Amino acid sequence: MTPVGDSDPNALNDLLAAKGLERLDNSQLTKFESYLALILKWNQRMNLTAIRDKDTILDRHFVECIVCARALPPGIATVLDFGSGAGLPGIPIAICRPELKITLAESQIKKAAFLNEAVRAIGLDSEVFPGRAETLKAKYDCVVLRAVDQMDISIHLATALVGCGGWLAVMTTEAARESVTRSVDGQFSWNNVVSLPESQQGIIMFGKRT
């Protein structure tokens, strides 16, 4: 594994261990290292993510998305990352859960180009949809949203993409919990909420279609 700059290739595993979370295996760690390198490279020429410091990317982006990947409900096979942006959380889910078929939906052309390059370079069996997620015709076992624009509207649109008995997974904050619930107007039961490690507000809400 080639370190990024002066970074420690084991830094992500050390961070996970410090938070009481299971370490990644060597293959997963290598893929995350490649992913980090791509984010840092592309961030030099476009606004891929507002967080540009590699240590913060590991802590805020990678660790939180790894927690999401591991917390996904059992029995699912297809996952849509609604408004994927830099591939968060879809790419970490694809790395941690290779048995799942991941679709990364991103309407911004440059970000979609990044996603295609990331999928190719990391060697993921994932699909990039370069358009607005709500125009997709497929149904998914789980639709995941994280830091998308106009979250309430996006959640409402995402509900149409969740299959019968499927799930919405919303990475949000405790303060926004009521707003998320209201956005789906009783179509989902929210019985599972996961707190993000060492975060005062960060949570993942899992809603099952009723």
Give the C-alpha separation, 164 to 141, whole Å. 8
Residues 6+ apart with CB under 8 A from 2: 9, 33, 37
Give the burial class of 145: count Cβ atoms within 10 A of its Cβ; 0-12 exposed, 13-18 middle, 19 or more buried.
Answer: buried
For residue 47, the tally of other CB atoms under 10 A from its CB is 12
Strands across the sheet containing 188-195 = 126-129, 101-105, 78-82, 140-146, 162-173, 202-209, 188-195
Percent of the chain with pLDDT over 70: 97
C-alpha pair distances (Å), 195 with each of 78, 94, 168, 170, 202:
24, 21, 16, 12, 6
Q: CATH for 11-209, among 3.40.50.150, 3.20.20.70, 3.10.180.10, 1.10.357.10?
A: 3.40.50.150
Residues 6+ apart with CB under 8 A from 76: 100, 141, 142, 166, 167
User: Hey, where are the domains in the chain?
Assistant: 11-209
pTM: 0.94
Q: Angle 155-157-161 (CA atoms, 0-180°, nearest 5)?
A: 100
Contact present, 101 and 77 (Cβ < 8 Å):
yes
Cα torsion at 14, 33, 96, 137 (round to 10°)? 140
Q: What is the pLDDT of residues 37-91, one digit of tens each?
A: 999 999 999 989 888 889 999 998 999 999 999 999 999 999 999 999 999 999 9
3-class DSSP assignment, residue 145:
strand
Give 106-130 as a DSSP string: --SHHHHHHHHHHHHHHT--EEEE-
Q: What is the reported pLDDT for 7? A: 59
Reply yes or no on whether the pLDDT at 6 is more than 60. Answer: no
Give the burial class of 85: count Cβ atoms within 10 A of its Cβ; 0-12 exposed, 13-18 middle, 19 or more buried.
Answer: buried
* Mean pLDDT along residues 187-191: 91
Reply yes or no on whether the pLDDT at 2 is more than 80. Answer: no
Q: What is the pLDDT of residues 94-139, one digit of tens each?
A: 999 999 999 999 999 999 999 999 999 999 999 999 999 999 999 9
Contact present, 158 and 143 (Cβ < 8 Å):
yes
| DSSP structure class, residue 138 | -
Q: What is the reported pLDDT for 198? A: 82
